[in-house]
């Protein structure tokens, strides 16, 4: 009853909010439009009017929901949609490598949440079974009391003896059920502890894998740098060797041209040999 009154009070308070937001948006729009501001500032009235209209619309929907269902699930849904949009925009703005890391992190969080949900489901299932067992025990005790009253009123001594025997039997059954209840409690505690150990091991494995991943990335960057440096050195050496071979070929070709055409130092040697032969010929004639 108190929750319904609180919901109605909240709905009454929300009823005037859309009108106040419309008035506020109009006042701020008029005030900003009168001021002498740059073109960028002139877009503020449009954004302000749009935001006020959006908030007014959400408040109106929340008001109707509070009056009809006494809940505010629509507001929660809007907030969740905004969060999902922000996450999607953030994912699109990230580089591919960071995006893959974030996807792995989200997958790990999803696994963690699924494990947590499984644990909660197991706990709820055990609690439900315990409640059912306790309910059965309480119903059995109540039936025993009712039967005892009826038997004391209607039955004789012999039947009372039979009742006492059945009473003992029911007491034994009650003790067995109590033992089963204790076993279920121990089993539930043990299951919760095992799930916690599994969760802790997953956390440790995640930390180890992240450390290994960082180390492998560091080594990969170092190896890439070494390979790049070696490639640059090989390219420089290859260019130097090519230049040496080209220079050697050019020198050999030039030397051959000079020898064939008798240029430079090769021409002088031939002239000297020719003069010596002429002198020797003159001496022989004499």
CB 192 within 8 A of CB 123: yes
Q: Specify whether 86 is located in the same domain as 115.
A: no
Where in the sequence is the domain holding 85, given as residue range(s)? 1-93
Region 171-184: mean pLDDT is 90
Q: Place 13 in a pLDDT band, splitting at 50, 70 and 90.
A: low
- The percent of residues in the chain predicted with pLDDT above 70, rounded, is 53
Identify the pLDDT of residue 120. 73
H or E stretch covering 23: helix 17-34
Q: Specify whether 130 is located in the same domain as 185.
A: yes
Asked whether the CA dihedral 9, 10, 15, 21 is positive or negative, the reply is positive
- Determine, yes or no, domain membership for 260: no
Q: Specify whether 111 is located in the same domain as 204.
A: yes
Q: Specify whether 116 is located in the same domain as 206.
A: yes
24 vs 254: which has the higher pLDDT: 254
- Determine, yes or no, domain membership for 228: no
- Residue 195 burial (10 A CB sphere; 0-12, 13-18, 19+): middle
Identify the pLDDT of residue 49. 67
Per-residue pLDDT tens over the stretch 66-115: 667 666 666 667 777 777 777 766 666 666 666 667 667 767 776 776 67
> CA 91, CA 100: separation in Å to the nearest integer?
10
140 vs 68: which has the higher pLDDT: 140
Write down which residue in 196, 211, 226 finishes a domain: 211
Angle of the 44-69 helix axis to the 2-15 helix axis, nearest 10: 150
Other beta carbons less than 10 A from residue 28's beta carbon: 15
Tokens for 150? 């009826």
- Determine, yes or no, domain membership for 173: yes
CB 203 within 8 A of CB 116: no
> CA 72, CA 70: separation in Å to the nearest integer?
7
- Determine, yes or no, domain membership for 230: no
CB 115 within 8 A of CB 195: yes
CB 79 within 8 A of CB 169: no
Answer yes or no: is pLDDT of 157 > 90: no
CB 187 within 8 A of CB 126: yes
- Write out the DSSP string of 93-161: HS-HHHHHHHHHHHHHHHHHHHHHHHHHHHHHHHHHHHHHHHHHHHHHHHHHHHHHHHHHHH--HHHHH
Q: Specify whether 4 is located in the same domain as 68.
A: yes
Identify the pLDDT of residue 230. 92
> CA 29, CA 39: separation in Å to the nearest integer?
15
Answer yes or no: is pLDDT of 1 > 50: no
Per-residue pLDDT tens over the stretch 198-218: 989 998 998 999 999 999 999
Q: Specify whether 143 is located in the same domain as 65.
A: no
Per-residue pLDDT tens over the stretch 230-284: 999 999 999 999 999 999 999 888 888 888 877 767 665 545 555 555 555 555 5
Region 7-25: mean pLDDT is 61
Q: Specify whether 163 is located in the same domain as 199.
A: yes
Identify the pLDDT of residue 132. 76
- Determine, yes or no, domain membership for 64: yes
Backbone phi, psi, residue 94, to 5°: -80, 150
- The percent of residues in the chain predicted with pLDDT above 90, rounded, is 16
Number of domains in the chain: 2
Write down which residue in 211, 241, 262 finishes a domain: 211
Q: Specify whether 89 is located in the same domain as 110.
A: no
Q: Specify whether 117 is located in the same domain as 203.
A: yes
- Determine, yes or no, domain membership for 224: no
Region 180-198: mean pLDDT is 89
Q: Specify whether 160 is located in the same domain as 116.
A: yes
- Determine, yes or no, domain membership for 241: no
Write down which residue in 72, 93, 114 finishes a domain: 93
Q: Specify whether 7 is located in the same domain as 77.
A: yes
- Determine, yes or no, domain membership for 282: no
How does 242-279 read in b/e, with b if 16+ C-beta sit within 10 Å? Answer: eeeeeeeeeeeeeeeeeeeeeeeeeeeeeeeeeeeeee
């Amino acid at each position: 009853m108190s929750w319904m009154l609180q919901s109605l009070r909240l709905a009454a308070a929300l009823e005037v909010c859309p009108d106040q937001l419309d008035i506020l948006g109009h006042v701020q729009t008029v005030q900003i439009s009168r001021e002498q501001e740059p073109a960028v500032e002139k877009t503020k009235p449009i954004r302000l009017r749009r935001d006020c209209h959006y908030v007014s619309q959400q408040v109106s929907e929340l008001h109707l929901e509070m009056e009809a269902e006494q809940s505010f699930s629509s507001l929660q849904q809007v907030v969740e949609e905004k969060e999902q949009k922000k996450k999607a925009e953030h994912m699109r703005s990230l580089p591919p490598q960071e995006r893959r890391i974030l996807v792995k992190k989200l997958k790990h969080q999803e696994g963690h949440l699924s494990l947590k949900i499984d644990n909660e489901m197991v706990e709820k299932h055990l609690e439900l079974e315990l409640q059912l067992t306790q309910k059965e025990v309480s119903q059995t005790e109540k039936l025993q009391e009712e039967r005892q009253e009826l038997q004391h009123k209607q039955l004789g001594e012999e039947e009372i003896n039979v009742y006492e025997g059945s009473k003992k039997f029911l007491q034994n059954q009650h003790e067995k059920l109590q033992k089963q209840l204790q076993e279920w409690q121990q089993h539930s505690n043990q299951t919760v502890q095992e799930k916690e150990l599994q969760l802790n091991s997953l956390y440790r494995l995640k930390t180890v894998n992240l450390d290994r991943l960082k180390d492998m990335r560091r080594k990969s960057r170092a190896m890439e740098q070494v390979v790049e440096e070696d490639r640059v050195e090989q390219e420089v050496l290859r260019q130097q060797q090519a230049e040496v071979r080209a220079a050697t070929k050019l020198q050999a070709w030039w030397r051959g041209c000079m020898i064939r055409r008798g240029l430079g130092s090769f021409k002088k040697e031939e002239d000297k040999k020719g003069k010596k032969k002429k002198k020797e010929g003159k001496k022989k004639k004499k």
